[in-house]
Amino acid sequence: MANNNDYHNRNADQKNRRVHPVKKKKKFFNTPYFRIPLLIIILLIVILGIYLIVAVAKTPKLDVELLTGQKQSSVVYDNEQNSIAQLHSSENRLLVDYEDIPDTVKETFIAVEDKRFYKHFGADPIRIIKSAFNNLKAGEVVEGGSTITIQLAKNAFIEDPTAQKLSRKIQEAVLALQIEHVYTKNEILTFYLNRIYLGESSFGIRTASLTYFNKELKDLNPAEIAMLAGLPQAPSGYDPYFYPEKAKARRTIVLGVMRDNGIITQADYDKYVDTPFTFVDQVKSKQKNVQMPEIATRNKQHPYFVDYVISELQAKYGFTPEQIYSGGLKIYTTVNSKIQTKAEEAFADSKNFPANSKDGTSVQGAMTVLEPDSGAIAAMVGGREYTPMGLNRAYQSKRQPGSTAKPLVVYAPALEHGGYYPGTVFDDMPVKFNNGDGTVWAPTDYDTITSGWRGLITMREAVEDSVNVYAVKLLSSLGVENGWQFAKNNLGLSLTNNDKVLSMALGTFDISTLQMASAYGTFANNGVKAEPYSVIKVLGPDGKTLVENTPSEKRVMKETTAYLMNDLLRSVVTYGTGTKARIGNWYICGKTGTTSLDPAKFGNRSGNPDAWFAGYSPKYAGVVWMGYDQTDTSHYLYKVYGGSYPASIWKQVMTVAHEGLAVQSSISRPEGLTTVKFDSKSGLLPSSLTPSEFVKSEICAADSVPTKVSDVWVQVMVDANNPNLLAPVGSMNAVSRLCLNVLGRPKDVTWPSDEAPYKAPDKYVNESGSSTSGETPPAGDSSIPQLSLSSPYYDGSSTLVQLPVSNYNSKKYTVKLYIKKPGQSYLETYVPEDGNKRTIQYRLDLFGAGAVSGTYTFWGVLMDNDSFTEGPPSNPVTLEISN
């Protein structure tokens, strides 16, 4: 029985075990947490492998001709698809054999570009990792990641410069391996040193040696070798002619690499590290003569424009020099050959320029013409004589623009800001501004000595006659920051924080003719800025479109602002300083500009460094600059202004540009403008005192119409027998005389002819008929209550003084103010329109950069409304103002 029980118990246990089996723990490799990431990794490897196989399969066939010879020339076309230039790969290239390259040159380039050149097989992972570390350590690019062989392999991509970067890198590595298989290391190094682009249109190390130093390779010293070896990383960025400080810093780094690699000694490093860049001045002074291959000068019309095209292809689209000169490209450009040819003829004509200096140095110049509605550059001339390595002053030189800057940094920003219009008035009289360093700046006008001061003038008058003081006062009122921001962000001027000063109004920053033409073209294009460009499209040798320009346009100002600027600048050509630029019945706008010699450097010499004319029609905008490349005591312009030679050249070129076009004598007027009658001596609405000859009409944006009534005119009581003397209060021999209420003018400055008759007398007549000074108000009638004044409140931004007065019977009396102002020996009187109120408002100044500094004293009296008898003066209250 016991055995049976044991049997049943065992069976029961087995059944229980079958019903409730024990779970085994799964291994991690069988879980989704491992399998899914593994599948993803495998998938990525497969995709990468496929991408690698496709990229390798599409690797261009190694073209030995690219390394040992030249390929197809590229052709440049004008805007009518006429060929104007053939770009040859042999352009400015002088070959050299391996044996003729000094070891120092070879070792330096290897140390900088590819230190493991003789150890790798084309691609060098170690080189990539190490160069990245060294660059990070140095804080800038000291070594390149690509090997010398890979840099040669890049030539295989001439026909497809827009290929994806990753696939290109793979294909470059494949080609590098092929090159290493076919050629020796010495042959590869020779190919590289003969083909490398080193700036200034120089291909190959020997050409660069002659270009920069006029020396053969064997004659170069370590500093010169270091400069050349530093160029491949960024030939334009380290160009010593334009960025000498950057080039010198790069040379110092390379000298350090040469020292660290045992190419030169520490003594050599110490000797050459601070060698000055004297060769730059030598080249600019034409103290050398580089012999170019004959083919370099063939079939190349409009060379300055073509040079700019080459620059745009590199900077904007990433083409390499090899691709441009050897790629068989068809480059279609915006140049208008008719306009370009006339511009070149104008600059070749010596009659269009002042005589040379005593040492024979020529006055130089530059011009850019573009189409405002698209930004297409129609013509560009960068100097009077072209040389293959010459400076293209049209876009590479930046000079101070003088008064041509005013529309860009003062007038357009003010109109865009609102509250200003062409009738806005400021006082053209001597003014001083605190520089913040204990010195003061006193701007003057170009013709102050000969023509005197203009007094209260409108914006239109200031623009027409290029008045400096007005522009400075307007920018001070607007705020330098506002003008700077508009010019930089809206018009694209390359301003820096150092330019953010009040003298910016007079063009003390640097700009090129290209930037200037683009900015002025924005006015012609109704406030829409079109980015300038020279390349329309580029085709490869197979006809495939490689790049095609898409015009970039952006509205940067209101249509009303652009129209008002056009209207103002039209006045310059019609009545002002730019009348030489008129072209028939065309709607021509323009602005002249002339810079001044620095008195600290030139003493009392009369002359100027720069002369400009910027002008435009609805069809073309053009800018001309004239001056010496280097301004010094022997080289500066004399009696050359923007309205003279520059305007004459502009007219010659633009007359040809407009030939055959339908004449546009006007432009359409946008909505949002109105016409307002105003007082031309205040810019405000005419008052009952404004003389009729000073009531004028002006165009204005609807949101900037003046709302205040002019208070610049006052009635002054003068002696009837001698109207040039003030009459004492209560005098029975007094008559009324209309005068201008203007403060801050120096006593010894002559008033302009239209204002002189309204100058207020500054002395009183006494009982004997002679003059005397009036320092305090008259005693008045003691039967009339005496007024009491409280301390004044002053708002510096509006120059408005508020004077609280004691209670009085406003039905019987009116408040009258007596004011003693700084620098005046007489009292002014003022009866405000709100004279029966408890707070009297009086404005100190309307036309300058603020109220005149000094002490102002105020008295108040009550005047009987029936008899006009005045009571005794109140207590005096004073106001101190310091600027």
Give the Å distances, CA to CA, from 65 to 61, 156, 189, 248, 754.
11, 10, 16, 36, 80
Structure confidence at residue 582 (pLDDT) = 95
40-44, 50-54, 122-126: least confidently modelled range: 50-54
Quick one: tokens of 339? 């306009």
Kindly name the residue from 403, 512, 518, 771 that is annotated as catalytic.
403
- What average pLDDT is seen over the chain? 85
pLDDT at 143: 55
For tokens 């029609």, the residue is: 617
Is residue 512 annotated as part of the catalytic site, yes or no?
no
The lowest-confidence range among 40-54, 326-340, 617-631, 753-767 is 40-54
Of 259-268, 381-390, 733-742, give the lowest mean pLDDT range.
381-390
More confidently predicted of 9 and 483: 483
pLDDT: which is higher, 769 or 313: 313
Beta bridge partners of 719: 734
Between 376 and 284, the more confident residue is 376
Which distant-in-sequence residues (6+ apart) come within 8 Å of 719 by Cβ? Answer: 725, 726, 727, 731, 733, 734, 735, 765
CA angle 805, 808, 812 (to 5 degrees): 130
Active-site residue flag, 403: yes
The per-residue DSSP string of 62-127 comes to P-HHHHHS--BPEEEE-TTS-EEEEE-TTTTB----GGGS-HHHHHHHHHHH-TTTTTSSS--HHH
Q: Of residues 405 and 436, which shows the higher confidence score? A: 405
Instruction: Name which residue leads in pLDDT, 32 or 296.
Output: 32
pLDDT digits (tens, 9 = 90+) for 368-410: 999 999 999 999 999 998 876 568 999 999 999 999 999 999 9
Q: What is the dihedral of CA 561, 566, 572, 573, to 10 degrees?
A: 180
DSSP 677: E
Q: How buried is residue 789: exposed, middle or buried, by Cβ count under 10 Å (0-12/13-18/19+)? A: buried
Distances (CA, A) of 425 to 428, 564, 748, 852: 9, 16, 23, 17
Per-residue model confidence as pLDDT tens digits over 88-100: 765 556 778 999 9
CA distance 402 to 449: 19
Within 13 A of 298's CA, how many CA atoms are on the CB side? 12
Q: Does residue 528 contact residue 522 with C-beta atoms inside 8 Å?
A: yes
170-179, 496-505, 539-548: which is most confident: 496-505
Spatial CB neighbours of 314, under 8 Å, sequence gap ≥ 6? 236, 320, 321, 324
Q: What percentage of the chain exceeds 90 in pLDDT?
A: 51
Q: How confident is the model at residue 287 (pLDDT cuts 50, 70, 90)?
A: very low
CA distance 667 to 332: 32
Q: Residue 768: which pLDDT band, with cuts at 50, 70 and 90?
A: very low
Report the pLDDT averaged over residues 453-474: 96
Asked if pLDDT for residue 365 goes beyond 90, the answer is yes
**pLDDT value of residue 62:** 65
Q: Mean of the pLDDT values across residues 288-313?
A: 68
Query: Alpha carbon 106 to chain centroid distance?
Result: 42
Please, which pLDDT band fits residue 50 given cuts at 50, 70 and 90? low
pLDDT bin (cut points 50, 70, 90) of residue 853 is: confident
Contact yes or no for 428/454 (Cβ under 8 A) = yes
pTM over 0.85: no
**Does the pLDDT at position 231 exceed 60?**
yes
In angstroms, the CA 658 to CA 321 distance is: 36
Contact 539, 390 (CB under 8 A): no
Closest CA to 459 of 448, 446, 473: 473
Of 80-94, 473-487, 767-781, minimum mean pLDDT range? 767-781
Question: Per-residue pLDDT for 299 more than 60?
Answer: no
Which uninterrupted H or E stretch holds 638?
none
According to the model, what pLDDT value does residue 842 have? 86
Strand pairing of 364-370 and 377-381?
Answer: antiparallel
Q: Quick one: tokens of 431? A: 């003014």
Mean pLDDT of 313-320: 88
Q: Which of 90, 91, 113, 312 is catalytic?
A: 113
Looking at per-residue pLDDT, the higher value among 93 and 661 belongs to 661
Burial class (CB in 10 A: 0-12, 13-18, 19+), 501: middle
Q: What is the pLDDT of residue 772?
A: 44
Residue 204 and residue 189: Cα distance in Å, rounded? 12
One-letter amino acid at 755 equals E
Is the pLDDT confidence value at 322 over 90?
Answer: no
Grade residue 243 by pLDDT with cuts at 50, 70 and 90: confident
Q: CA–CA separation, 107 vs 268, rounded Å?
A: 16
Q: Which helix (H) or strand (E) holds 589?
A: strand 589-594
Least confident of 107-111, 329-333, 751-755, 807-811: 807-811
Cα distance between residue 589 and residue 596, in whole Å: 24
In the predicted model, is pLDDT for residue 848 greater than 60? no
Q: Across the strands, what pairs with 843? A: 800
